[in-house]
């Protein structure tokens, strides 16, 4: 069986990928994300996921998995917050309007040269919570390494409702990833991926 390689430093993606029961290595991609200029969020996520996978595929053999997750709010792409103040601004906006998280995943089989990409999204509505509650969360949970500034497993009390696969918020649409891994010849564990994703804790 060809080795499976995750081209990501995300502990959330690593946790999710373990659910499939397939041994894999983590080899982070050093692709510079800001070098991609694209205004369409779905296309941007796909380009980034594919670029990350291709960078690792230049040096490694196997099936490479690259991924990217980004947030869209009021038609604009939000990067990970750069400061605490920016994270607070995100949160205040999320109370008034829903935001979308788009997850793209790219798979490259370096032996056959096959490339495949998938995208999925989840739409999230926050409750109308007071500033102090939001600020307290940010004071106790580091937001600058997460799309939208929060981890859904830590901020579930903020969520009024969400439409889409829960695991997208952690960086991989697990049901779609499972199908592709099987297409690439991997024998995977079949379980309740939604329940598994909800078990993630930092």
Give the CATH number for residue 38: 3.90.950.10
Mean pLDDT calculated for residue range 7-25: 96
Catalytic residue among 30, 68, 131, 139: 68
Instruction: Give yes or no for residue 90 having a pLDDT over 80.
Output: yes
> Which range is least confidently modeled, 58-62, 83-87, 89-93, 144-148?
144-148
Please measure the distance between the N-terminal and C-terminal CA atoms of the chain and give it in whole angstroms: 32
User: What pLDDT is recorded for position 157?
Assistant: 86
> Does residue 155 register a pLDDT over 90?
no
Residue 99 domain flag: yes
Per-residue pLDDT, 173: 98
**Which residues of the chain form beta strands (DSSP E)?**
4-6, 24-26, 63-73, 76-78, 99-109, 115-126, 159-163
| DSSP letter, residue 154 | T
In a domain, 106, yes or no: yes
Higher pLDDT, 146 or 62: 62
Instruction: Classify residue 30: in a domain, yes or no.
Output: yes
Percent of the chain scoring above 70 in pLDDT: 100
Other beta carbons within 10 Å of 49: 27
68 part of the active site: yes
Q: Which residues contact 97 (CB under 8 A, 6 or more apart)?
A: 73, 74
> Please, are residues 76 and 15 in contact by the beta-carbon 8 Å criterion?
no
- The answer to the question of residue 9 being in a domain is yes
pTM, two decimal places: 0.91
Distance CA 88, CA 77 (A): 17
Structural domain containing residue 140:
4-197
Would strands 115-126 and 159-163 be described as parallel, antiparallel, or unpaired? antiparallel
Q: How far apart are CA 173 and CA 170, in angstroms?
A: 8
Residue 202 lies in a domain: no
Percent of the chain with pLDDT over 90: 78
Residue 107: its pLDDT value, please? Answer: 99
Whether residue 20 lies inside any domain: the answer is yes
Instruction: Give, as one character, the DSSP assignment of residue 149.
Output: G
Q: Is residue 108 part of a domain?
A: yes
Cβ contact 92:127 at 8 Å: no
Residue 171 falls inside a structural domain: yes
| pLDDT on residue 163 | 95
Closest CA to 189 of 178, 176, 200: 178
Number of domains in the chain: 1
The predicted pLDDT at position 201 comes to 83
For residue 118, the model assigns a pLDDT of 98
How far is CA 54 from each of CA 62, 83, 96, rounded to the nearest angstrom? 12, 30, 39
């Amino acid at each position: 069986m060809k080795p499976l390689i995750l081209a990501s430093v995300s502990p959330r993606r690593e946790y999710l990928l373990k659910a499939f029961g397939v041994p894999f290595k983590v080899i982070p991609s050093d692709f510079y994300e800001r070098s991609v200029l694209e205004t369409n969020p779905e296309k941007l996520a796909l380009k980034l996921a594919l670029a990350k996978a291709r960078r690792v595929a230049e040096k490694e053999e196997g099936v490479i998995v690259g991924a990217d997750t980004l947030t869209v709010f009021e038609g604009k792409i939000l990067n990970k917050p750069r400061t605490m103040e920016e994270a607070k601004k995100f949160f205040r906006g999320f109370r008034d309007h829903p935001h979308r998280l788009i997850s793209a995943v790219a798979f490259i089989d370096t032996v056959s040269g096959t490339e495949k990409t998938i995208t999925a999204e989840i739409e999230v509505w926050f409750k109308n919570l007071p500033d102090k509650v939001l600020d307290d969360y940010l004071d106790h949970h580091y937001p600058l390494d997460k799309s939208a500034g929060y981890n859904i497993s830590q901020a579930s009390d903020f969520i009024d409702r969400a439409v889409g696969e829960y695991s997208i918020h952690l960086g991989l649409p697990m049901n779609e990833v499972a199908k592709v891994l099987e297409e690439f010849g991997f024998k995977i564990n079949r379980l309740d991926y939604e329940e598994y994703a909800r078990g993630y804790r930092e």
